[in-house]
Amino acid sequence: MTSEPDRFAVRIRQPADAGAEGAAELSLMIAPIIGQDADALEAALARGPVVVAQDVSLAEAEQLVGVFENLGATAEVVAPSDDATRPLFGAEAGPEPVAPGWRRVVTKPRERLPEGDRRATSP
């Protein structure tokens, strides 16, 4: 019997309708939050979903999901499915797992801000 993990991460992807300029802008806003280079993040997002903010608590991961969604990204909490294969940048691998070494975590739904309202709190 496996127990629930105590450390999590956040998987982000750019919206399907975001063009190159939108992806660059999104990367510029998210990169400082996760401590990554904006150009590297933009390139990774262009290839598909990216697992970021690894090794955080569930509360921190949920807060980051809110921040990233308010900035315009699609985000969800993920947990390691195998510690030996935890990547820095993950690629979509189908519904389960969500990226190599990661699985989706079901969290409680949260209230979304109205479209265009980009208020975000610091993680």
- The reply to whether 48 falls in a domain is yes
Confidence of residue 15 (pLDDT cuts 50, 70, 90): confident
- The reply to whether 44 falls in a domain is yes
Total number of domains in the chain: 1
Confidence of residue 53 (pLDDT cuts 50, 70, 90): confident
- Mean pLDDT over each residue of the chain, to the nearest integer: 74
Helix, strand or coil, per DSSP, at residue 43? helix
pLDDT value of position 88: 43
Q: How far apart are the first and last CA of the chain?
A: 33
Question: What contacts 106, CB < 8 A, 6 or more positions away?
Answer: none
Q: 99 lies in which domain range? A: 8-104
Confidence of residue 63 (pLDDT cuts 50, 70, 90): very high
Q: Give the Cα-Cα-Cα angle 4, 9, 15 (nearest 5 degrees).
A: 125
CA proximity to 111, closest of 71, 69, 83, 81: 69
Confidence of residue 86 (pLDDT cuts 50, 70, 90): very low
